[in-house]
Amino acid sequence: MRRNIIETIIAGLVLVVGLGFLVYLWQSTEPERFASYPLQARFEDAPSLKQGAEVRIAGVRVGRVTAVALDRKRFDVLVDFEVAEMVKLPTDSQVVLGFDGVVGDAILVLKPGQESALLQAGDRVRRSVSPVNIVDQLGRYIFAGDADDF
């Protein structure tokens, strides 16, 4: 009889710990909520950039990507993202498509400019830099036979 009570108490503890772990997972995976404003950028190429990717300035997260789509007229990539309201970006700011580490996820890196005029909600960041495709560059170098093509 005593054994059944101990087993029941242990099973209850396991269930409580498991439930606590599930609540922790649910809260840690929920997107952060912050006051923000939308911006847009165009890239020639945006490999592995996905909705929800981080937007950073100097390594600090200040926003997230809200949409990645192909512009069917110009055949480039339109990226919609949001930036925290407290971050005021000059109109000559630059957005660079980077990666979080050597094999990490794609992220957007903002490099604030020097202008006094600021980007407003819905504006497009005019200066964007796509990543260099090392494999394509190496192939051009090997098969072109002339290094002056770069």
Q: What DSSP line would sit under 60-119, residue for residue?
A: EEEEEEEEEEEETTTTEEEEEEEEETT-PPBTT-EEEEEESSSS--EEEEEE----SSB-
d(CA 40, CA 25): 31
Whether 5 and 68 share a structural domain: no
Residue 12's domain comprises 1-30
Strand partners, 36: 84
Answer whether residue 89 is part of any domain: yes
Which tens digits make up the pLDDT trace of 131-147? Answer: 766 666 677 777 765 55
Model-wide pTM > 0.75: no
Which tens digits make up the pLDDT trace of 82-133? Answer: 999 999 999 999 999 888 876 778 889 999 999 999 999 889 999 988 776 6
Whether 93 and 130 share a structural domain: yes
